[in-house]
Amino acid sequence: MIDEEEVRRMTPLQRQQLRLILADMDSRDLAGRAWDRRRRAIILGVIIVCCIALAAWTGVLAATLPRYYRSGDWRGAWVGFDIALLAAFAATGWASWRRRQMLIVSLVVLATLLCCDAWFDVVLDARTSGFLLSLLSALLIELPLAAVAILGARRLIRMTNAVMLRYRGVNGPVPRLRDIPLAGVAPGRPLTDLLVEPEAHLPAVRDNHLKV
């Protein structure tokens, strides 16, 4: 048994080694079993099937939809979209000002809406007098802002991961974004663990003693 006073008397290197041991024990406790791996494979299979079906449906639409179509409630569609874009800008500004983690989500949503705005502006204004203005707006305003938002979200995710690694006593370069594992979902565990409240992933604290 190691109590709090003993931990405080440890050197920084000893505490770092202790964090590594505890982190390794936690990851082993969460190691997935065979049925967990099968469930994960099923979920990934469903996602792949959905992607194939969507690609096929996109091809059907490309072959069957008319080139020109008269739309109803054009004003409502664009006013509603711009309200959503305004809300994304406002949420991003608030999260940035308050230094909240939801800034990552807000930046991703903002970038997505800006790309959609650029796409529909350019495509729907094709062969009209407003095409050049829409193209310039997409290239000079919307797409650059979307790129800044995505790069900002990427930097924040890697920064958060760097803090988590340092807390666990892991030194070295921060991994690339695509190499960062999901926090709270150990390899082999089902993705349904993402639906569990974060507190369920934390070890129960009984007293001021640590078991090693």
**Per residue, what are the HEC states of 130-153?**
CHHHHHHHHHHHHHHHHHHHHHHH
Q: Which residues pair with 210 in a beta bridge?
A: 2
CA distance 35 to 191: 13
Position 143 scores a pLDDT of 95
Closest CA to 157 of 109, 103, 98: 103
Position 126 scores a pLDDT of 84
Residue 211 has pLDDT above 50, yes or no: no
Angstrom CA distances, 102 to 39, 51, 91, 93, 113, stand at 30, 28, 9, 11, 17
- Give per-residue pLDDT as tens, 104-133: 999 999 999 999 999 998 998 888 888 899
| Listed range (14-28, 42-56, 67-81, 84-98) with the worst mean pLDDT | 14-28
Q: How confident is the model at residue 12 (pLDDT cuts 50, 70, 90)?
A: confident
Residue given tokens 């054009």 in the structure block? 74
CA distance 93 to 102: 11
Q: How confident is the model at residue 135 (pLDDT cuts 50, 70, 90)?
A: very high
Residue 188 has pLDDT above 80, yes or no: no
Position 7 scores a pLDDT of 73
Residue given tokens 């983690």 in the structure block? 101
Whole-angstrom Cα Rg for the chain: 24
- Give per-residue pLDDT as tens, 90-111: 999 999 888 899 999 999 999 9
Residue 148 has pLDDT above 90, yes or no: yes
* Over residues 138-147, mean pLDDT: 94
Residues 122 and 131 sit within 8 Å (Cβ to Cβ): yes
* Over residues 7-14, mean pLDDT: 76
Residue 183 has pLDDT above 80, yes or no: no
Position 36 scores a pLDDT of 59
CA distance 171 to 39: 33
Altogether, the residues listed in the chain come to a count of: 212
Residue 53 has pLDDT above 80, yes or no: yes
